[in-house]
Chain A
Amino acid sequence: MTVYVKGVVFEGVDFDDPNSWKIDAYIKRGGYAALKKILQEGITQDAIIAEMKASALRGRGGAGFPTGLKWSFMPRSFPGQKYLVCNTDEGEPGTFKDLDIIVNNPHALIEGMIIGGFAMGISVGYNYIHGEVFEAYQRFEAALEEARAAGFLGERILGTDFSFQLHGHHGYGAYICGEETALLESLEGKKGQPRFKPPFPASFGLYGKPTTINNTETFASVPYIIREGGQKFLELGKPNNGGTKLFSVSGHVNRPGNYEIPLGTPFSELLEMCGGMRGGKKLKAVIPGGSSAPVLPADIMMQCTMDYDSIAKAGSMLGSGAVIVMDETTCMVKALERLSYFYFEESCGQCTPCREGTGWLYRVVHRIEHGQGRAEDLDLLLSVGANIAGRTICALGDAAVMPVQGMLKHFRAEFEHHIEHKNCVAPGY
């Protein structure tokens, strides 16, 4: 279920209308006006990037890096080929917003990428789409065809000198291929393994050429910013946290789904929009930003507003905006076992601490969950985690550790109980 409350990505989309994704409907709700404005009014690359900076749009892929700043890193005058890449590999447990975008409003993404291409002097783009959502990939290809037929995409767009080619590419479902440099490797046809940085993609990206990579939602926010102005976008949210954001709410709520709401909205309001806790149960904890974000207990979470700064201050992160809600029946040991298994399975295996450490973490948590925990295990988990975090090639290592740290910080007693009594404090669902 997708709920549009207020915002930019799904503005005007009718989720009950099977044709709402199409180009005609998109144009009717103001689509491609931003692109036209740029090309017809001669808006400069500098002006677009200035507008992006003013919007305070931060990358929606997880790291929250300011998009305008990222775009300004692209060496625009570099004479050779440059690439623009969209990251629709969305594979983190709890995150399902990008899928919704390419299914329900693909042209917002396409327009955003074309504008990005124009702003950074790039003529070729790729959208790398998670392999397990093949129909969504097909929808995106269909939208590309529409855009080409309408003259918004391809050679000499809208009769100007500006040309931009955009291609869809589907992966095979590896979470690690969402890490931007692993994505580039995979796009080149190699094994999806992160590259060591530096060099960064802005100087050495796809096929070794300067490349800008953004998340689907990031690009899909661009047309609004250009059409309505960066200032207006910023004002939708709060300072340093411009705009609205999609939150993928899952877990023990009555109406799980994607919610597009202004950044800065109190968590309690979001929970209300979701119809509150399922079965009237008590909220126990929330993972506020995707599976790698440290868990926050209910009392802290209820004090937070949904934006980068507030969640960071509470000791977690907004990440991709996946909000995993857990009620009082949840066993935190079991929950962590599931999370740790994911990182163990998805580690690319390239660097030692993550390849060896994620398995170690998982096996220890698995033991605890199965009544074979030892008193020293909790300190061991933290120590192993500390040896992984910050020592790896990509952030998957950190992502594997943060859930462990978060759980032990807030729910250590539950783990101790498991170890001592070989059973659960949570009543079970």
Chain B
Amino acid sequence: MLEIEIDGKKLTVPGGSTVMDAAHSVGVHIPHFCYHKKLSIAANCRMCLVQVEKAPKPLPACATPVTDGMKVHTHSDMAVTAQKGVMEFLLINHPLDCPICDQGGECQLQDLAVGYGGSASRYEEEKRVVPNKNLGPLISTDMTRCIHCSRCVRFTEEIAGYQELGMPGRGEHTEVMTFIGKTVDSEISGNVIDLCPVGALTSKPFRYSARAWELSRRKSVSPHDGLGANLVVQVKDHRVKRVLPLENEAINECWIADRDRFSYEALNSEERLTKPLIKQGGVWQEADWQSALEYVVHGLKDIIANHGADSIAAVATEQATLEELYLLKQLFAGLGSQNVETRLRAADFGLKTQGATWLGQSIVDFVGSDAVLVVGSTLRKEQPLIAQRLRQAVKKGAKLAIVNSHGDDLLTTLAGELIVRPDQLVEGVLAVIKAVTEARGVAAPAHIDLAGVEVTDAARAVAAVFEGKDKTSIALGNLAQQNPRYAELHAAAAALAELVGAKLGVFAAAANSVGAQLAGATGAGNVFAQPKKAYVLLNTEVEFDTANGAEALAAVQQADMVVALGSFGSCALEHADVILPVSPFSETSGTFVNVEGKPQSFNGVVRPLGETRPAWKVFRVLGNLLGLENFGFNSSEEVRDLVLAGDVAAKLSNAAVAPVAVKAQAASGVVRLGEVPIYQLDMLTRRAPALQATADALAASQLKANAATLAKLGLAHGGNAQVKQGAGVATLAVALDAGLADDVVRVAANLPATRALGALTAAIEVTQA
């Protein structure tokens, strides 16, 4: 520890601290632009110059290491003269177009200029003008405002993992730009908007739609992936205008993914439903809530009376809140049906655990592992911020390995990489288990049958990442959870974890995947395979939210009654009989339980649009109309407290023991690697125009295969192919993906173009088109 003095305050700080760190710890604010606690030190803006006794010149606080006995003055004449000098330089070429700048009111340059700037400029020469750049559909540029702090550049390189922005040019000609002809395509790119201290990088969808000071700031939680990123939702006139991160070091740090930031556009979409709709004589009619709910109650009662309670089923996506899912389940239980399911993209429901599957530890502990194996995941797109944290972990020395069905670049160094066909993921994990048993001279547990398992060098490299490491983790991603042999895959991963002493985790595909299990809204399995007479769909577009859209659509189309609860009329116009407008996350109170089992409750940030109602209230009324007991809740908090009573941690478990053995792969033909594109995850992302214009979204509907498979199928990169599963047919553009195993074609699911196709991991016919 070192003893120093800042502005007369004595303090002790750990060795290696900078003057900036030390000042922070005693609440002394030093003006700065380029410094950011999550980025490397650039020391280029020079705004943080302070006086250090015995140093002849002012020194940058952000880059000056503390030495014992150092005396720092942040407000002395020397310091303030230097800071004012820098401020003057920053302003001479700045356009000072604050009145038309979206950053106005929340601009660090503007704020600091109040304290350090002059009231008139001494600069009377010509000012610099910098051409704007096209960074894609999310980020707007006004490059003349750039103060060259390089935060955005450092972010893309250090946090996003790939330097999509650079600063070519010298001196005054230095400009922030992308590679020629490229845009910024990272899935977490929007963070540069927050990092940019001025209005050079601003939000494109938000552009010119409100002034910072007109917005109210309300806390919320992201409704997309299972991380549970904390949000500040900014609203004006009861409309969501913008979404920013709320810093939470334990969860999202100070970042959010682009999905979290830009999906709000859907909340204001034209497709929002504001009144209940009932289809009468094949024509949609607006209805009042009373009649719509009575219609639902009568309909359900009728069908149960005629066909029994097992003839009705409810499905919901895991973006629904804990409270909604619990009440839906209770409603069905009251009606005598256990047919409630949220695992709509699963193909195998055989896994038996003693509690809800989860990360197995806190996010911070997980990314603090010395070695991590991720099984079956398009990690950057499924879990953009966990991928980011793992990248930082690798930089600090952690080893990362994957067993996966594709080799998508994780923008970090992999210590092991085993790529197998999607129908061979189980065998992939078995190979790693066998490699461990061989390397360590130990036996696998009895329920793991290693007969016929082939150990490759790649499997050995994966196994080796655990060698000599104390804190190790294994996590199963979305691709694993969607696998038709998920129960075996999970059991195999559990056995591997046991063998190497790792913690087993399951990534949560959606905001409330863990909460859905705690609410008891799972267990029915596939309710579409044997079609039911009636379906209740909560927040679900069957063709886009399920593993087999064709099958699900057929099931609801043949049903006698379909009740859809959703925020968008378009979600079920083709097949529902009643559509009830229910609140998206922004218009209701509720709770999501994130991947680490942490319940995060939130309030509505705006009032429900039109006659939209929170779904939990709709279920409460339905319960009462149906005369069911225990539906007298006064608030969503009462529901939550009931569901989460007792120790939540005790209700989480990934332990699973089941026999696992090699299964011969399908003899011939190609297998589909189906996955959910990043911006098709849920109803909101699907309706966010800016997200739909990203490179990720535009590339989603390509068919991909490796060179050998393309050749075998007679396809060429850039050409077209026709694919067929059952009766479903689609014509897709073809692209080369060298990271795939032989005989695998990657065809994304849940897209308009591919909704007619069948199962995610199954045989697929491919021909030239």
Contacts and interface: CB of A to CB of B under 8 A. Distances in A.
Contact of B173 (A349, A351, A352, A363): A349
A393 B43 contact: yes
Given A349-B170, A359-B171, A360-B92, A387 B41 contact: no
Interface string B90-101: 101100000000
Contacts of A363: 125-126
Given A196-B63, A349-B148, A352-B89, A174 B170 contact: yes
Interface in B16-71: 41-47, 49, 56-58, 60, 63, 65
Q: Is the interface of A mostly helix, strand, loop or mixed?
A: helix
B171 A387 contact: no
B3 interface: no
Contacts of B167: 191, 349
Interface stretch (B80-88, B448-456, B557-565): B80-88
Given A352-B147, A353-B46, A353-B89, A347 B170 contact: yes
Given A348-B170, A349-B174, A391 B46 contact: yes
Contacts of B82: 387, 391
B172 A355 contact: yes
Contact of A391 (B86, B92, B170): B86
A387 B170 contact: no
Contacts of A358: 171
Nearest to B45: A352
B123 interface: yes
A228 B344 CA distance: 86
A191 to B, nearest CB: 7
Contacts of B46: 351-353, 391-392
A196 B20 CA distance: 15
Contacts of A359: 93, 125, 171-172
A154 B609 CA distance: 78
Contact of A353 (B56, B85, B166, B174): B85
Given A196-B60, A351-B44, A352-B44, A387 B169 contact: no
Contact of B49 (A198, A364, A391): A391
B122 interface: yes
Given A349-B174, A356-B93, A360-B123, A391 B85 contact: yes
Contacts of A191: 166-168
Interface in A326-366: 344-353, 355-360, 363-364
Contacts of A349: 148, 167, 169-174
Contacts of B88: 387
Nearest to A348: B170
A380 interface: yes
B125 A196 contact: no
A176 interface: yes
Contacts of A352: 44-47, 86, 89-90, 147-148
Interface string B120-132: 0011011000000
B44 A344 contact: no
Contacts of B85: 353, 386-387, 391
A391 B85 CA distance: 9
Interface residues of B, number: 38
Contact of A344 (B57, B166, B172): B172
Nearest to B62: A196
B45 A176 contact: no
Interface string B148-173: 10100000000000000011111111
A75 interface: no
A349 B93 CA distance: 13
B125 A360 contact: yes
Interface in B396-445: none
A358 B42 CA distance: 20
A367 B56 CA distance: 33
Nearest to B64: A198
A176 B90 contact: no
B174 A355 contact: yes
B14 to A, nearest CB: 18
Nearest to A386: B85
Contacts of B86: 352-353, 387, 391
A357 B125 CA distance: 12
A380 B85 CA distance: 12
Contacts of A355: 89, 148, 171-172, 174
A390 interface: yes
Contacts of A346: 170-171
Interface centre among B43, B47, B150, by most A CB within 10 Å? B43
Interface in B214-263: none
Contacts of A364: 125
Contacts of A174: 170
Interface in A166-219: 174, 176, 191, 196, 198
Contacts of B43: 196, 351, 393
A392 B46 CA distance: 7
Interface string B169-192: 111111000000000000000000
A380 B92 CA distance: 14
Contact of A356 (B41, B56, B90, B166): B90
Contacts of A345: 170-171
A383 to B, nearest CB: 8
Nearest to A366: B125
Contact of B57 (A198, A348, A391, A393): A391
A350 B65 contact: no
Contacts of A351: 43-46
A359 B170 CA distance: 12
A15 B173 CA distance: 42
A190 to B, nearest CB: 10
B89 A350 contact: no
B46 to A, nearest CB: 5
B152 to A, nearest CB: 15
Interface string A385-417: 011001111000000000000000000000000
Q: Which 7 A-B pairs have the closest CB atoms?
A: A387-B85, A349-B174, A356-B89, A390-B57, A347-B171, A363-B125, A196-B43
19 contacts: A196-B43, A344-B171, A345-B170, A349-B169, A349-B172, A350-B42, A350-B148, A351-B43, A352-B148, A353-B46, A355-B148, A355-B172, A356-B90, A356-B92, A357-B89, A359-B171, A360-B123, A387-B86, A390-B56
Given A346-B170, A356-B92, A391-B57, 6 more contacts: A191-B167, A196-B41, A196-B63, A351-B45, A380-B122, A391-B58
